[in-house]
Structure 1
Amino acid sequence: MVENYSNDYDVKCQLDTCKTYPAITDSERGEIVCGGCGLILLQNMADASYENNGYTSEDFMKMSRTGPASSLTMNDRGLSTVIGTNKDSTGKALSSKTKYEFNRLRTWDQRSKSRKTASLSKAFTLLHGMKTKLGISDNVVENAAYIYRKVVSAKLTRGRTMASLISASLYAACRENNIPRTLDDIADAGNVERRILSRDLRTIIKKLGMNLNQYDTTSFISKISNNMNLKEKTKRDAFEILRRCEKEQITAGKHPVAQAAASLYISCIMNGEKISQKKFSVESGVSDVTIRNRTILIKKTLKLIE
């Protein structure tokens, strides 16, 4: 009759004589007991009560008994063994014999770690550096770490560099969360060749069976216009031009960044902002020839006159 931890706390005693008695919850023992016969109906319940009233992060870390939450972006998920300095709990220095024993413990703790743990530590250090360069949120980095762990488990690391695989994982996470970052942005932040990054990305998508959606072009319009300090009316007119292009079905198969840059360029002309195609090319990472071709197609289809 004893059950382990379950999310379903609506338990009742099976005896007919106990149906009229309520179930009693013992929070200290983590058990639910029948009020009639005293039978333990549920045990090993999780303690969901709050243990402190700390209102700052510092108070929370001091009073919490569980520590910070585990994270996939750490090689040991935040559950590492930490051997502190050569002092006891009262702050007094340890004796020479005890100090020698703890030094040996630190040495063997370091030696006992596997090569996989060391490689994950280097990979996630690089991932955090790319996060700072690209300004990406924590949930996207967490997703990238999850993808990289799947890559390691699938044994796709042989013959490929760690930097290219972690960069490809980060790009895939950006695609899944619709964060506007191009392959060139990821390649520059990870210091890898775009060709190698693209090749490893295709391998990850194929081997892991991922289905990445296409970027939303409007996110690139916001990114480019904010970086170039364009007027709000210019940005809104670019959104309208893009909406009309999608209605005319001329955006299918086109580069989303080039489409966004061309829409912004036309909007700048309409609002009197004199910005050359070369500046849009440098900012968006797309050649000015591509932007010019997209601009001509948009003007011809939408019948726009300068």
Structure 2
Amino acid sequence: MPDKGLFSEIGVPTRDFQGNSLSRNTSLKFYHLRKLNHRLRAARTHQRNLVVALGELNRLAGVLGLSREVKESATYIYRRALEHKATRGKKIVALVAASVYAACRQCHVPRTMKEIIAHSKATKIEVGRAYTLLARELKLGLKPVEPRDYLVRFTQDLNLSKEVRAKVLELLEQVEQVYSTSGVLPNGILATIIYIASNLMGEPRSQDRIAAVANVTPVTIRNHYKELLDLLGLPKNLANPQARANLVLPGTLPPVEGNATVEGP
């Protein structure tokens, strides 16, 4: 059981209560008792740390709705950090948040660091530094996050059809051929492409709504919007319903005017 912060310190006496010098054997016994005392103190500190950390981890996983697999992975990462003494000088809450983020990456669960920080008691800087430390000390070897990692989740949260999802993937592949997404916020790029694709496919979603789901600001979408339209060869007024009505997408027929009909073969 944790000692509530109370723990006796065993000294290294050189004389007994009568003032006589201690024998070598007696001194060695005190030395070994002191050493054992330090080990017990370290073990209890380790235990207290783990109890606090697991409580915070369970709370964070519950708020984020994470699976048992992710929780177990995060727990394993934190325990390894504790064993490697990588927790020294770092806040428990920051290391827990970093462990949860790393576990999400390992389990291919699309959660942004910003989402996790929003529910953590640590700051963005603290969690970022803790994650960098874990990745380095534990050699996690996680691949960089790509925009497509969030594709299914974001489109589902926005109630978009499979057709829109397919269009998003198509546009994303086109963008990746001519535009390096390295160093660019992946959920920001994807949010912008979702905005474009939803307009193209007649299921428009507002920038504010998409930004809320993607955990970015509407400004992020606007900053990428014109650049991506240019890369994709799409008109600047794409969000205008009339412009969309007159737009001819690859593989589709142009709009029919008046009462004209298109005859089959």
Q: 1:228 to 1:191 in 2, by over 3 A?
A: farther
* SS of residue matched to 1:114: helix
* SS of residue matched to 1:293: helix
* SS of residue matched to 1:172: helix
Q: Is the 1:221–1:261 Cα contact (8 Å) retained in structure 2?
A: no
Q: Is the 2:104–2:110 Cα contact (8 Å) retained in structure 1?
A: yes
147, 151, 176: which one aligns with 1:221:
151
Shift of 1:260: 1.0
Q: Is the 1:234–1:268 Cα contact (8 Å) retained in structure 2?
A: yes
Alpha-carbon distance between aligned partners in 1 of 2:227 and 2:190, rounded to the nearest angstrom: 13
Alpha-carbon distance between aligned partners in 2 of 1:139 and 1:281, rounded to the nearest angstrom: 28
Shift of 1:214: 1.5
Alpha-carbon distance between aligned partners in 2 of 1:254 and 1:238, rounded to the nearest angstrom: 18
1:236 counterpart = 2:166: yes
Alpha-carbon distance between aligned partners in 1 of 2:165 and 2:195, rounded to the nearest angstrom: 10
1:175 counterpart = 2:133: no
Name the count of aligned residue pairs. Answer: 195
Could you list the runs of 4 or more consecutive aligned residues of structure 1 that deviate by over 4 angstroms after TM superposition?
none
Shift of 1:257: 0.2
Q: Is the 1:168–1:198 Cα contact (8 Å) retained in structure 2?
A: yes
TM-score normalised per structure 1 = 0.59
Alpha-carbon distance between aligned partners in 1 of 2:161 and 2:69, rounded to the nearest angstrom: 31
> What letter corresponds to residue 291 of structure 1 in structure 2?
I
Q: 1:161 to 1:252 in 2, by over 3 A?
A: closer
Alpha-carbon distance between aligned partners in 2 of 1:118 and 1:237, rounded to the nearest angstrom: 51
Q: Is the 2:195–2:204 Cα contact (8 Å) retained in structure 1?
A: no
Give 1:117's aligned residue: 47
1:267 counterpart = 2:187: no
Alpha-carbon distance between aligned partners in 2 of 1:129 and 1:289, rounded to the nearest angstrom: 32
Give 2:137's aligned residue: 207
Alpha-carbon distance between aligned partners in 1 of 2:170 and 2:182, rounded to the nearest angstrom: 17
What's the RMSD between the two structures over aligned residues? 2.0
Alpha-carbon distance between aligned partners in 2 of 1:266 and 1:250, rounded to the nearest angstrom: 19
Q: Is the 1:238–1:267 Cα contact (8 Å) retained in structure 2?
A: yes
Q: Over residues 180-203 of structure 1, what are the superposed CA-to-partner deviations in whole Å (9 max), with x where a residue is unaligned?
A: 111111112223211211121112
Alpha-carbon distance between aligned partners in 2 of 1:248 and 1:164, rounded to the nearest angstrom: 37
Q: Over residues 207-230 of structure 1, what are the superposed CA-to-partner deviations in whole Å (9 max), with x where a residue is unaligned?
A: 223322112422312212211222
Alpha-carbon distance between aligned partners in 2 of 1:156 and 1:197, rounded to the nearest angstrom: 14
Q: Over residues 145-184 of structure 1, what are the superposed CA-to-partner deviations in whole Å (9 max), with x where a residue is unaligned?
A: 1111121112222322111111111111112222111111
* SS of residue matched to 1:181: coil
Alpha-carbon distance between aligned partners in 1 of 2:113 and 2:233, rounded to the nearest angstrom: 33
Q: Over residues 64-120 of structure 1, what are the superposed CA-to-partner deviations in whole Å (9 max), with x where a residue is unaligned?
A: xxxxxxxxxxxxxxxxxxxxxxxxxxxxxxxxxxxxxxxxxxxxxxxxx82322321
1:163 counterpart = 2:97: no
Map 1:19-38 onto structure 2 (within 5 A): none
Unaligned ranges ≥5, structure 1: 1-112
Whose RCO is larger (CA < 8 A, sep 6+)? 2
Give 1:152's aligned residue: 82
